[in-house]
Structure formats: C-alpha cells, structure tokens
Amino acid sequence: MNHQVRVLEIAPEAKAADRPRALDGFAVSADTLEEARRATAARREAEGLVVRSLSFLAAGGLVAVVHPSTAPTKGGR
C-alpha cells in the first residue's frame, strides 16, 4: 500500500508561533502503518534531516516535521 507523506521543516530554534516550511512530499510503500513510519523516518534521516515528529492523518497519509541535522559533516567542520 502506498502512503503519501507531507514534509514540513522547522528550524531547531523555532518558537511555537513560527510556521514550518513545506518541503517536497513523497510516497512510501508499506504493508503496515508502522512500516510506513519507519520508512519515512529512515528516508528523512538519510537526507540529513532529524525527524522531530511524525503523525498519521485521519484522511490517510503521514506528516513528518523535520529540521536539519546540527551534527558535524564528514571531514571535520
């Protein structure tokens, strides 16, 4: 089953009133909601994003709120 994923990015230092920025969404193929959650988190983390929250929508699909990783990149700085 395909699950549509909507992705929102928010800065790590964002305040509660700050609005997230919509990023490109995508679809994941998974037999269960748990597999869809794991696939979504793995894909975003592979892209250097930290998954801050992941929610299932009542109408179907998921929303992932992410922020850029603050970890140092390979090679030093």
What are the CA-CA distances from residue 57 to residues 4, 38, 60, 74, 77 (Å)?
A: 10, 16, 5, 36, 38
Give the model confidence (pLDDT) of 29-70 as tens digits: 999 989 999 999 999 999 999 999 999 999 889 999 999 887
More confident position, 12 or 71: 12
Q: What is the pLDDT of residue 77?
A: 46
Instruction: Give the number of residues written for the chain.
Output: 77
Q: What is the CATH number of domain 2-68?
A: 3.10.20
Whether the predicted pLDDT of 24 surpasses 70: yes
